[in-house]
Amino acid sequence: MPEEDLVELKFRLYDGTDIGPFRYSPASTVAMLKERIVVEWPKDKKIAPKAANDVKLINAGKILENSKTVGQCRIPFGELSKSVITMHVVVQPSLAKAKTEKKVDEAPRKNICACSIL
C-alpha cells in the first residue's frame, strides 16, 4: 500500500497523555485499533483496559463501532489527509465484570431497618 494512503492516528487517554501516532490502512477496523491500544497502554496508569471490549473510541463526538473501518471514521476529516487524527479513549469495564464485582461488594452488607418515632 502506498505510504500516502495510510491514515495517521493518535489516541488521547483520560489524563491527557497520548498513545501514538501510528499509521493505519484505511481498511483497518476499529476492533484492530482497540487491540493495539490495549497492547500499547502505559503500564504506569491506574485505570487500564484488560481487553479490547473495555475500550471505547470516540471520534468527532461519536462512539465508533468495532465493525467500522478507519476510512469510514475519518470522513469528517477527508480534506485533512496529511494531518494526525486524534481519537479519544474511554475505559469502560465490561458489564458482566462490573455486575460480579458489585455483588461481591454488597454481599457482606445486611439490610437492617430501624424506625424512630419522636
Angle at 93 between CA 91 and CA 97, to 5 degrees: 175
Question: Do the beta carbons of residue 82 and residue 38 sit within 8 Å?
Answer: no
Q: Is the pLDDT of residue 2 over 80?
A: no
What pLDDT is attached to residue 3? 61
* Mean pLDDT for the stretch of residues 15-35: 89
Domains belonging to the chain, first-starting first, are 7-91 (3.10.20.90)
| Collapsed DSSP state (helix, strand, coil) of residue 84 | coil
* Mean pLDDT for the stretch of residues 16-31: 89
pTM of the full structure: 0.69
Instruction: Tell me the Cα Rg of the chain.
Output: 20
Report cis status (omega within 30 of 0) of the bond before 42: no
According to DSSP, the β-strands at 18-24 and 7-12 are antiparallel
Q: What is the pLDDT of residues 40-84, one digit of tens each?
A: 999 888 888 888 889 999 888 888 898 888 887 765 545 555 678
What pLDDT is attached to residue 32? 92
Separation CA 56–CA 88 (nearest Å): 8
Q: What mean pLDDT value characterizes the chain? A: 78
Residue 103's pLDDT band (boundaries 50, 70, 90)?
A: low
